[in-house]
Structure 1
Amino acid sequence: MNTLFKVTNKISANGQAVRHIFSGVKKLQQTQEQVDAAEATNTRLPLTTLSEDEQAMKETVARLAQEQIAPHVREMDNDGKFKSSIIDLLFQNGLMGVQIDTEYGGAGCNFMTTILTVEEISKVDPSLGILVDLQNTLINNVVIQLGNEEQKKKYLPRLAADTVSSFALTEPSSGSDAFSLKTTAKKDGSDYIINGSKMWISNSDLAGIFLVMANANPSAGYKGITCFIVERDTPGFTINRPEKKLGIAASGTCMLTFDNVRVPESNILGEFGKGYKYAIEFLNEGRIGIGAQMIGLAQGCFDATIPYTMERAQFGKPIFSFQSMQHQIAEVATEIEAARLMVYNAARLLERGEPVLKEGAMAKWYAADVAQRACVKCIDWMGGVGFSKDFIQEKFYRDVKIGSIYEGTYNIQLSTIAKQIEREYKN
C-alpha cells in the first residue's frame, strides 16, 4: 500500500487524519495505472473500482460524517442554518478544496474524489452535501480552470482554507431560461458597475466569494454575459435573509441585490462575454455533483430504514420477511445502484476529458428521480413512525424534492438529453 496511507484511521476534530490522507494525492494516478493494466490484458474495470486514495477518502469521510456531523443534523435542520463548528470541520479536513492543487493549500485530488465526498456526506445530511458540492464542483473548478495566476493565488487558498463561496446566476425573471438575466455590468473607467438582483442563490448566507453572472454588453444579448468575482463586503452588495424552504433547510438560499456595486476589471473571470458558455459547461459538471448528492441521500434513507424492517414484527415475523416487502426493497436497491453507476460513469468520462453533456443530464435526472422514489418507499415501509419527526426519513423526504428543481429542472434535463440524441442521429 502507498505510504500515503500509513496514518491513523481515527477521526479528530482538528481534521488531521483526513488532511494527511488527502495530502499529496496524485490525480488519477492509481486509477490510470489500473486502467492501463486492464487495457494491456484486454479487460475492463468495474465502474465502482476505486483507487486506494479514493477508497481511503470514501471510508474516512464516511466516518467523519457519522461520528461528527450526524449528531448535529437535526439541530441544524431545526435552526435553519449550519453550526459554525461543522463548517470549520469541513475546512479543517480538506473537504472544501478537494480538487484545489496543494500549491494553493488544497487536497489536489480528482473529480471522482469530490463525487465520493459529496455522496458520503449526503448520506448523513443532504443540506451539507450541497454546500460541499457547490464549493467543489462549481466555484472551485471555475476558478481553477478559468482564473489567471493572480486570481488563483488570491482566491484558491481562501476557498481551500476558510471561505465559503456561491454561484450567482438565477434571477427572479430567469429560472430555467437562465440567459434572460437582467443584471448588468456597465464599464466605468477600469471598473464595472453591477446593478440588478439574483434569487435562489445557494450558500449565499455564508459565502465570502461570489461568482456573479452579469450582462456587460446587453446589445449583444446572451453573448454579453460575463463572470465577475464579487466579495461579500463590497459596498452596495446586499445579501438578504435566507428563504424558508421545504427541505435542505440548513442550506442558506438568499436573494442578492446589487446597487451600483463597483468591481475592478481584474475581477472578470475568464473572457469577457463568455459567461453563458462557462455557465453551460460548469453547470453540467455541477449536475454530476447533484447526482452524487441524490444517490447519497437515497442510500442514507435506505440504510436508516432496512434495519427497522428487520426488527418490526407483524403477524409473528419481521416485515422484511414478507415477499412483497422483499420485492419492493430489491427494486429500490437496484435503482439506487443503477443511479450510482450513471453518476460514477459521468464522473469518469469527465476525468478523461470526454463530453458529458448528455451523460451529466442523464445522471442528474435519474438519480433525482430514483431518490424521490426511494424516500417515498422508505416512509411506506416505516409505516406511521415514518411520518413523524422522531425518525430521519421525513427529513430525507423533504430534502429530496430539490433534486428535481435546482441546477436544471427535470424538463430541462430531458430537453438536454433529447437534443443530444437528435444531434447524434442527424450526424
Structure 2
Amino acid sequence: MDFKYTEEQEVMRAVARKFSEKEIAPVAGEYDEKDEFPWEIVHKLHEVGLLTIGVPEEYGGPGLDPITQALIAEELAFGDAGLSTTVVASNLLAANPVLVGGNDDQKRRFYNVMNEGKLAAFCLTEPGSGSDAASLSTSARREGDYYILNGTKQFITNAGVADIFTVFATTDKSLRHKGVIAFMVDAHTPGITIGKKENKMGIRTSDTCQISFEDVKVPITNRLGEEGEGWTICMKSLDISRPFIAAMAVGIAQAAYEAAVNYAKERAAFGKPIATFQAVQFMLADMAIEIEASRLLVHKACYLREQGQPFTQMASFAKAFAGDTGMKVTTDAVQIFGGYGYIKDYPVEKYMRDAKIMQIYEGTNQIQRVVIASNILR
C-alpha cells in the first residue's frame, strides 16, 4: 500500500487547485446568483487542459489515471461544484458508454469532439424513471441503417450546452433492462428539442435541461454495442463515474471545512475566539475525520478500477459516504458561522445548497445502499 501521490498527480492537483482559487472561486457566487452558465471559465478550463481529463492518450487526451481524475474533480468542486459537475458529466460520465461499449471508430469520433473543447451529456433519466432506470420509455425503432428515437429525457446535465449525447433507449419497454440500447447522438440532429434550463437549488452554474426526441434518425454506426447490451453499458458507466461524484462531494466539504476553520479562529464570543470552545472544536474534528475517510474511499475505488479488480461496491461506498459527508460538513459549517452562515455574503450557504445534489444524482444514496446490500447478501 502506498498513500503517496505520484509527481504527475501532485502537479495536476496543484494546477486544478490554483485554477479553482484564481479563476473559479472569486466569481462562483456571481454566476450562482445570476444562474448563468460560465462559458468563459469553461474555455479557460480547455486552455489549461482540465476540460478533457477523461480522454485517453491514444485518442489525443492526457490519459490520466482514475486517482488523478478524482483529484481534479475534487479541486474543481472546491472552487465551484457546478463547474466540476460540467466537467465530470462530460468527461467522466457521458464519455463512459463510449469507453465501455464503443469501437475504435466511435471512440475516435466522440473524443475528437471533446478535444475541440466541446461538451457531452449523458441521457438516461426520464420524467417517469429515475432510480428505476430500467423502466425508461424513450423508444428506438430500427429502420434500415437507422434507428428512430422518440421520447423525453429529464434533468440532463449539459443538455443545453453539449454538442454530443450518449442516449439510452429501449427497443421494447416490456423487456425492461433486456431491451435497453445505447447510442452516440449528435446534439444538433433534427428532431431534438432542448427544454428550458432548470432553476435549481444548487450547482446553478451547471446547465440542466429536459431533452425531447421526436423521430430523431441515428445511424446504426452510432449504436454502442449490440441490441440488448445497453443496460450493461449503462451500469458499468455509472460504476466508473460514481467515485468522481464522491470526489466532488469531498471538494465541497473541504472548502466548507477550511472556511469554518478560518472563521472559528477569527470570530470572537465571550471575549475569545469560538475556536477555543470545545463544542466548535469537536465539530471541526468530525469534519476533518469524515472528509479524510471519504477521500480514502474515493481513492480506493479508483485504485481497484485501475487494477482491474471489482469496484462496484467500493464505488457505492464512496458515493454514499462522501455524499452524506458533504451534506453534514456543509450544514455544520453553516452552524459554525451562525447567522452569518445563512447570509449569501458568506460562502457556506452555497456549499450547503451545492452539497445536497451529491446525495441525489448518479444514483441516490439510498440506491447506493441497495447496491451495497445486494453485494453483501449475494
TM-score (norm 1): 0.86
Question: What's 1:398 paired with?
Answer: 353
How far apart, in 1, do the equivalents of 2:347 and 2:226 lie? Answer: 46
* Farther off after superposition, 145-154 or 362-371: 145-154
How far apart, in 1, do the equivalents of 2:176 and 2:21 lie? Answer: 48
Deviation by residue 1:201-227 (Cα, 9 ceiling, x = unmatched): 111121110001011244543212111
Question: What's 2:235 paired with?
Answer: 280
| Pair 1:201-2:156 in alignment | yes
How far apart, in 2, do the equivalents of 1:76 and 1:211 lie? Answer: 27
Pairing partner for 1:131 from 71, 86, 101: 86
Pairing partner for 1:292 from 242, 247, 272: 247
How far apart, in 1, do the equivalents of 2:280 and 2:355 lie? Answer: 22
Matches within 5 A, 1:105-184: 105-184=60-139
Pairing partner for 1:86 from 35, 38, 41: 41
Q: SS at the partner of 2:149?
A: strand
Structure with bigger RCO (C-alpha 8 Å, 6+ apart):
2
| Pair 1:262-2:217 in alignment | yes
* Farther off after superposition, 119-128 or 136-145: 136-145
Matches within 5 A, 1:293-312: 293-312=248-267
How far apart, in 2, do the equivalents of 1:189 and 1:248 lie? Answer: 42
Contact 1:342 1:363 in 2 (8 A): yes
Pairing partner for 2:318 from 359, 363, 368: 363
| Pair 1:342-2:322 in alignment | no
Deviation by residue 1:292-344 (Cα, 9 ceiling, x = unmatched): 01001000111122111101111111110112211221111111111111111
Question: What's 2:30 paired with?
Answer: 75
Q: SS at the partner of 2:224?
A: coil
Pairwise CA distance, 1:159: 0.9
Question: What's 1:246 paired with?
Answer: 201
Contact 2:247 2:295 in 1 (8 A): yes
Deviation by residue 1:74-121 (Cα, 9 ceiling, x = unmatched): 121122122211111111222222232334321111111110110000
Deviation by residue 1:143-170 (Cα, 9 ceiling, x = unmatched): 2332222222222122123110000001
Letter in 1 for 2:166: L
Pairing partner for 1:102 from 48, 52, 57: 57
Contact 2:55 2:111 in 1 (8 A): yes
Pairwise CA distance, 1:57: 0.5
How far apart, in 2, do the equivalents of 1:228 and 1:98 lie? Answer: 22
TM-score (norm 2): 0.97
For these two proteins, the number of residue pairs brought into alignment is 378
Pairing partner for 1:52 from 7, 15, 18: 7
Question: What's 2:167 paired with?
Answer: 212
How far apart, in 1, do the equivalents of 2:104 and 2:303 lie? Answer: 27
* Farther off after superposition, 273-282 or 147-156: 147-156
Letter in 1 for 2:2: L
Q: Which portions of structure 1, spanning 4 or more consecutive aligned residues, are displaced by more than 4 angstroms?
A: none
Q: Which runs of 5+ in 1 are unaligned?
A: 1-43
